[in-house]
Structure 1
Amino acid sequence: MAEPVFRAVRSDDTEHDITEGELYRYTRHRWLYNEAYHLSQRYLKFNLQELLKAASIAIDVKGFVRCTKILKCKEGLNNKVFLLTMTNGIEICAKLPHPGAGPSFYTTASEVATHHFLRDVLNISTPRIIAWSADRNNPVGAEYILEEKAQGEQLGKLWQDWHEWPMRARAGVIEQVVQMEHILASTKFAKSGSIYFREDIAGSDPLAVISPMDSTVLERFTIGPLVEHRLWRGERAVMDLNRGPYNDAHELVEAIAMNEKKYISLYAHSRMNYARSVTGYEQPKDAIDLLDRYLQLTPAMVPPKHEADIHSATLWHPDLHLNNVFVDPKSKRINQVIDWQSAAVLPFFHQCRVPPMFRHPRPIDDDLNTLQKRPGNYKDLNQDEKKQIDILIASEGIHKYYLGTTHNQNQRHWVALQLKDDLRTQPAHIVPNIWEESNVFYLRRALLRIVGAWEDLCLDRGPCPVTFTDEELAQHAQEAENMEAVSGVLTLFRDRWGLPPDGSVESAGYEEVKAELSQMREAFIEAADNEEDKFLAEKLWPYQDTDERPKRETSHRGLYKEFKYDIRGKVSEFEAELEFFSGGGKLIWFKR
């Protein structure tokens, strides 16, 4: 019997032959730092023949159907996805979570139950699941989901074609997404957590909602622990932590801090934080002390009640980007929305956002009726410069049209979106993995803002229970100067060359990007005017293998997935930008 053909999709959507070994390895990206770790979190060896057998039985109980082609789809960071072509012409999508995607069993069990809830209860179209296993001890040797191939074309393949997809067509897609979000926002749950089938969570109660809904359709579902990977990272996977269900927003806000305190007290060790000091170590007790202050300030971290009810727990798509939406290219209608892995039921204000597929990469002003104008010298620019300006203006228009449509058609989401940058909601997003992600500074900054606004946030609670000493404030200000400067350089990398904070680069351009970045690093260090500043610049350089350096993260997950990584010939421009940042080549921002 002939073996199936092994193929993979390139970044330009063409196909090429691969070996069986490449099915198990992550090959779409490489990393500019900590590459071995990133790749290990995405390597998955499984029994291929058993997976194909499961697919055959799923569509033909006698198992007579065989697989003729295995197409490795473009890899996401959390899953391997294969399109299996069978002898009867049927195409099956096989999805296997990477080791770092989330907790074993729970991640897959929750994703499957969430799919069924969306299809069967809310009538939101997702691909039909035909077989699955959340037990990695199965014959395949890995958790898997087999589902029908999504109907239509990925929107990401079509969105760049302005001839076929003018603004009118894009507006139609925006309106359809807002309609789907309105369905989600209209379903309010009694508790926060992840959705499961009741048989998968021992002793669980039927799913409870506070929206009008037939209780009989809810009996097969329940709310169980969150599968968000940060709650299970590293040693947390075997710790007894409170991952839900949570009865209300206050319980959630407190639980995530208690979880981090428990983890840090057991597993964190002192380390260098050069943005804070070039001589002293950052101690775990510093983070624990900050979390204790956080817990004292939690009354200010839940927004006041509103008639739109932004507190009730709500199911939301975790990463709605262009490639997760499948459309009919002719009718421009959305057929299906995919990738609900790790979708959670959380207080609405805690997780609502503008979807990455519509998000403008720059700040948006409050006036939704006007757009940025072309510059006065527009007619003198070359075609590439004009195109870039027009793309940015169109991107702003898409973002604003989404906001305007949400304002008109989904008022609950609109009200919640007004809290996007609210100082009350920021700390709870920073706390998970605060030590590993070197976010102690960012949490301290968020708490200082709450302390400064305590009387306005908590009118009936008396004096603020938390204070910071003058010494703490001075040291924080010193660290802030260094962090702000390095963040400026990282923003430069992001805006000018598309490099995300995790250092991931399309594999085809890795060596070229790495060489260019090496030259940038030299320019960055040489811009310092003395050996001490050069030492500090070297330690603060973001893209390097070391556990000591402060890691930079972004809260806009998925924002850079559509960007292309191209920094060819940019070193001289980088040096010019350094001149601007540093005031004549001296890194005046570094403070010791």
Structure 2
Amino acid sequence: MRERHMQFKVSAVQKVIAKHVGHGNVKRIVKHSEGGFNRVLLATMEDGFKAIVKIPYWISVPRTYATASEVATLTFLRSKGFPVPKVYGWSSTTENTVGVEYTIMEHAPGVGTPDEDRDSETYCIGPIADYMFWYGERTKLDLDRGPWSDPRQYLLAIANKEIKWTEKFGKPLECDFPYNTVFPGVNSHRDYLELLKKYLAIAPYLLPKDTGDILNRPTLRHPDLTPSNVFVCPDTFDVTCIIDWQHTVVTPLRLAAGYPRLFENPSSEPPTGLDPPKYPDGYDTMSLKDKAQVDELIRRQSPFYLYRVFNGGLNKVHLKAPQDPLILARQHLVDCAGRQWSGNLMTLRGAVMRIRAIWSHIPWKDENPECPIEFSEQEIGDQMENEPTWDSLNTLVDYWRDELGGLSEEGWIRTE
């Protein structure tokens, strides 16, 4: 709790709100919510106007950049007509009258699109605001945080930051619960370093060398598009606001593309066409329990179907990227290579092995037709034997998080 204890001057907060919002003095200010990285306050002005104040916790990194990056992202998106909150005022330093960083923004959005384009003068990219480039002791390490002119440099930087951290702070660890009940014993961080080095050997071939490739283009995407971050009008169901853009990053489209959690495919099988979800034959004669299961599946399939239909009409390039048969293996590997050492060798090892197994299908391997990494038959056999059990434990953990009301990895749970 110490990391989330924020001491600030309430009277100073009220003054800066009144200054930036311009609706008289603050009549009432209350805690609105607690997020993973911010405390959110709701201020009501004398005339009834409402505004939001976000105050980042001490654990929110990178300091200064996290606040400044989110403000720049919101301002840029708003200038393009996206329904995001208007920023009234902000400070990315604690050297102010409040004593903490803060962002004052609109409580209810209304977006207009300007005619002129001043992007080149107003916005820039970098250094990266990705939380894992600044988490913990990484903020003190000399890391390559970009910006990068070649997307493949970004792939290398992801693993190099973990190599530097693991070399300095890594130590032998056992897996977290419940994995340690099935896979007991301590794993060496040096084995993790070897896996990261194998990743570095194949990373240059995960994306095309041509920086002009359309699926290589830099893409800005919301980091956590879940129902709690999308607000709609209860009467028209129009999207009125998309919030929580903190730690947004720009990545190549091949890494950014895919289905947000709000629109994920509920089936393990990829779609073969654009057919709408259908009720199965015999639905009318099913039991109430079976009908309820079918209804829930249809409910989850419908957003997935509509997401694909609208992307096909309005965003063909994005829909093209998920059609790449290697996209999931590539994205999973890059995600695993950026994770902190926690005693888990299974996930990264499996991701690296899968790329090696499909090496003949990698389209940009011409410079190196032979895969530059090797695993022994014993290593491959052990992975194939143990990984299904590991995946079953993942499913079990996800099940119990859902049963506990949607418990997040950080331990947050909805009040309702």
Asked if Structure 1 and Structure 2 have the same fold, meaning a TM-score greater than 0.5 normalized by the shorter chain, the answer is: yes
Q: 1:85·1:91 contact (CA, 8 Å) conserved in 2? A: yes
The one of 229, 254, 260 aligned to 1:355: 260
Which residue of the partner structure matches residue 91 of structure 1? 50
Quickly say closer, same or farther: Cα 1:337–1:496, change in 2 above 3 A: closer
Matched, 1:43 2:43: no
Q: Distance in 2 between matches of 1:319 and 1:451?
A: 30
Shift of 1:503: 7.0
Which residue of the partner structure matches residue 390 of structure 1? 295
C-alpha offsets along residues 318-370 of structure 1, whole Å, 9 cap, x if unaligned? 22233333344444433333222222221111122323333344435333204
Q: Distance in 1 between matches of 2:413 and 2:181?
A: 30
Q: Distance in 2 between matches of 1:439 and 1:432?
A: 13
Which residue of the partner structure matches residue 567 of structure 1? none
Q: Distance in 1 between matches of 2:341 and 2:6?
A: 27
Quickly say closer, same or farther: Cα 1:277–1:338, change in 2 above 3 A: closer
Shift of 1:57: 2.0
Q: Distance in 2 between matches of 1:411 and 1:304?
A: 23
Q: 1:248·1:347 contact (CA, 8 Å) conserved in 2? A: no
Task: Show the 5 A alignment for 1:89-168.
Answer: 89-120=48-79, 122-151=80-109
The one of 413, 416, 429 aligned to 2:321: 416
The one of 362, 376, 381 aligned to 2:282: 376
Q: 2:346·2:383 contact (CA, 8 Å) conserved in 1? A: yes
Shift of 1:305: 6.4
Which residue of the partner structure matches residue 587 of structure 1? none
Shift of 1:257: 1.0
Q: Distance in 1 between matches of 2:380 and 2:336?
A: 20
Which residue of the partner structure matches residue 26 of structure 2? 67
C-alpha offsets along residues 25-79 of structure 1, whole Å, 9 cap, x if unaligned? xxxxxxxxxxxxxx4444333222211111122245xxx9332222322433222
Shift of 1:301: 1.6
Which deviates more from structure 2 when the two are superposed, residues 404-413 or residues 352-361? 352-361
Shift of 1:499: 4.8
Matched, 1:302 2:261: no
Q: Distance in 1 between matches of 2:152 and 2:88?
A: 39
| Paired residue secondary structure (2:216) | coil
Q: 2:126·2:146 contact (CA, 8 Å) conserved in 1? A: yes
Which residue of the partner structure matches residue 383 of structure 2? 476
- Per the normalisation by structure 1, the TM-score is 0.62
Matched, 1:241 2:143: yes
| Aligned residue pairs, count | 405
- Per the normalisation by structure 2, the TM-score is 0.86
Q: Distance in 1 between matches of 2:53 and 2:102?
A: 7
Q: Distance in 2 between matches of 1:243 and 1:434?
A: 16
The one of 370, 373, 382 aligned to 1:463: 370
Q: Distance in 1 between matches of 2:211 and 2:353?
A: 26
Q: 1:126·1:338 contact (CA, 8 Å) conserved in 2? A: yes
Shift of 1:441: 1.6
Q: 1:103·1:232 contact (CA, 8 Å) conserved in 2? A: yes
Q: 1:276·1:478 contact (CA, 8 Å) conserved in 2? A: no
Shift of 1:421: 4.5
Q: 1:136·1:142 contact (CA, 8 Å) conserved in 2? A: yes
Quickly say closer, same or farther: Cα 1:499–1:478, change in 2 above 3 A: farther
| Paired residue secondary structure (2:146) | coil
Which residue of the partner structure matches residue 278 of structure 1? 184
Task: Show the 5 A alignment for 1:557-568.
Answer: none
Shift of 1:215: 7.2
Q: Distance in 2 between matches of 1:447 and 1:275?
A: 25
Amino acid at match of 2:221: W
Q: Distance in 1 between matches of 2:211 and 2:138?
A: 35
Q: Distance in 2 between matches of 1:68 and 1:125?
A: 27
C-alpha offsets along residues 94-143 of structure 1, whole Å, 9 cap, x if unaligned? 111233332110000111111222223x2324222111100023221211
The one of 19, 23, 26 aligned to 1:57: 19
| Paired residue secondary structure (1:73) | strand
State the percentage of identical aligned residues: 28
C-alpha offsets along residues 360-418 of structure 1, whole Å, 9 cap, x if unaligned? 44435333204252463654523x76345323202202211211221222111011222
Amino acid at match of 2:337: V
Matched, 1:219 2:110: no
Q: 1:302·1:425 contact (CA, 8 Å) conserved in 2? A: no
Quickly say closer, same or farther: Cα 1:114–1:507, change in 2 above 3 A: closer
Which deviates more from structure 2 when the two are superposed, residues 351-360 or residues 462-471? 351-360
Q: Distance in 1 between matches of 2:412 and 2:304?
A: 26
Larger radius of gyration: 1
Structure 2: runs of 5+ lacking an equivalent? none
Quickly say closer, same or farther: Cα 1:372–1:443, change in 2 above 3 A: farther
| Paired residue secondary structure (1:70) | strand
Quickly say closer, same or farther: Cα 1:214–1:495, change in 2 above 3 A: same
Which residue of the partner structure matches residue 310 of structure 2? 405
Which residue of the partner structure matches residue 160 of structure 2? 258
C-alpha offsets along residues 484-529 of structure 1, whole Å, 9 cap, x if unaligned? 3423422443566655462736476xxxxxxxxxxxxxxxxxxxxx
C-alpha offsets along residues 517-570 of structure 1, whole Å, 9 cap, x if unaligned? xxxxxxxxxxxxxxxxxxxxxxxxxxxxxxxxxxxxxxxxxxxxxxx8xxxxxx
Quickly say closer, same or farther: Cα 1:392–1:44, change in 2 above 3 A: farther
C-alpha offsets along residues 219-272 of structure 1, whole Å, 9 cap, x if unaligned? 132212111111111110111111110112210111111111111000011122
Q: Distance in 2 between matches of 1:459 and 1:502?
A: 40
Quickly say closer, same or farther: Cα 1:54–1:247, change in 2 above 3 A: same
Q: 1:368·1:401 contact (CA, 8 Å) conserved in 2? A: no
Q: Distance in 2 between matches of 1:293 and 1:430?
A: 13
Quickly say closer, same or farther: Cα 1:476–1:41, change in 2 above 3 A: farther
Quickly say closer, same or farther: Cα 1:376–1:347, change in 2 above 3 A: same
Shift of 1:459: 4.2
Q: Distance in 2 between matches of 1:116 and 1:104?
A: 19
Quickly say closer, same or farther: Cα 1:503–1:295, change in 2 above 3 A: closer
Matched, 1:77 2:65: no
Quickly say closer, same or farther: Cα 1:97–1:303, change in 2 above 3 A: same
Shift of 1:308: 7.2
Quickly say closer, same or farther: Cα 1:378–1:138, change in 2 above 3 A: farther
Amino acid at match of 1:469: S
